[in-house]
Structure 1
């Protein structure tokens, strides 16, 4: 069954914009490190890419991009297209022209569990794209798909309106209904890590600051005392 629905509810744009510049690793930490960070196969197609936006989700037939074209017409400024192409890598599902259109419409980026093409041109226009691979072959336009349904991208379940945060390390998702809490927790963790960095640079061991030495002592370790940093 194929479903095409508008994205009726988005997290407030002011909240979404505050995720810009927050590392995906920090977001992963405060969401529990399980189930929200896309797998390592989903990579930025160029260094320095960063994005944060509300997910317009797309379920595309592998090797076909007709539904992706339709999704672009439905997305709003600040949105990110999150495309489930079933990890298919033998076709570039989108390229320079589609990304130029997305950039002109104010979209924040694209994440696709599948392949893209025209990597160099997309890098030159500085439009954030995260993909599983790159392939020169062009796509078909003959199969229907779905828009704004729950999809799987990078082995993470993404619902329409969830926030996706991307940088050089990958992409992490934030459930829409947890956005404000995750944002606040992320800010607090950034502050805490800044303090830890200062203490580490002053010569203290993270092993001791964070109490890992106590955890280590509780383990059944046989042998001379280790020097762990």
Structure 2
């Protein structure tokens, strides 16, 4: 079954824009680390990537990009195209021309759980692109697909309107209805880290500052003599 949903609920633009200054690591920390950060196979096409935007989701048939072309025309400025290709990397589903169209129309980025191509051009484009691999093989255009349905990308479930925060470390996903709370927690975490940064630059150890030494007291520390021979 193929579904194309034009109307999605997006978070307040001011909240989305505020995440441009929040690293993906901070988002991961304040959301509990597990299940909301895409896996390490989702890599940026270039260095120095900064991305924050709302998800327009795409479910595409592996090896086919027809529905991706349609989704590009549906996305609005500030959106991130989030494409589920089942991790298929034997085809480059998107490349320089499609991503150039995204950039020209104000999109905030493109994330594809699948292959892309024109890697050098994308790295130089100053447009955030993440994917699972690179392949020069071109795709088919014969299978429809779905736009703005729940997808699984990078091991994370993504709904239309979720916020994606990306940088060189990877991508974190924030449910749209919890974005304001996550932003508040992120700001608190960043302020706390500023204080900690000053303390460690003065020579203090994180082990002492965070009380990690107490955790060691509860562990049974063994030496080589205790290993199984």
Which residue number corresponds to residue 129 of structure 2?
Answer: 129
Aligned to 1:55: 55
Tell me how far apart the structure 1 counterparts of residues 219 and 211 of structure 2 sit (CA, whole Å).
Answer: 14
Query: By how many angstroms is 1:8 displaced?
Result: 2.4
Alignment of 1:1-40 (within 5 A): 1-40=1-40
- Provide the residue aligned with 2:214 in structure 1: 214
Partner SS, residue 192 of structure 2:
helix
* Match runs of 1:101-180 below 5 Å: 101-180=101-180
TM score, norm. by length of structure 2: 0.95
SS of equivalent residue, structure 1 residue 19 = helix
RMSD of aligned Cα (Å)? 0.9
Please state whether the residue corresponding to 2:36 is helix, strand or coil: coil
Tell me, yes or no, if the aligned pair for 2:8 and 2:148 is still in contact at 8 Å: no
Kept in 2: contact 1:82–1:112 (CA 8 A): yes
Partner deviation per Cα, 1:31-54 (whole Å, 9 max, x = no partner): 100000000000101101111000
CA contact (8 A) 1:7 1:161 kept: no
SS in 2 for 1:194: helix
Give the 3-state SS of the residue equivalent to 1:132 in structure 2.
strand
Q: Using the TM superposition, give the Cα deviation of residue 221 of structure 1 relative to its aligned residue in structure 2, in angstroms.
A: 2.4
Summarize deviations over 1:138-164 as a string: whole Å, max 9, x none.
110000110000000000000110000
Distance 1:172 1:191 in 2: 20
Shift in CA distance, 51/7, structure 1 to aligned 2, threshold 3 Å = farther
CA distance in 2, matches of 1:115, 1:88: 6
What is the SS of the residue equivalent to 1:90? coil
TM-score, normalising length from structure 1?
Answer: 0.95
What runs of 5+ residues in structure 1 fail to find an aligned partner? 224-229
User: Matches of 1:222 and 1:84 in 2, distance apart?
Assistant: 46
> Would the aligned equivalents of 1:67 and 1:147 in 2 still touch at CA under 8 Å?
yes
CA-to-aligned-CA distance 1:205-228 (integer Å, 9 cap, x gap): 1101101111111222246xxxxx
- Number of residue pairs aligned between Structure 1 and Structure 2: 223
Q: Secondary structure at the match of 2:82?
A: strand
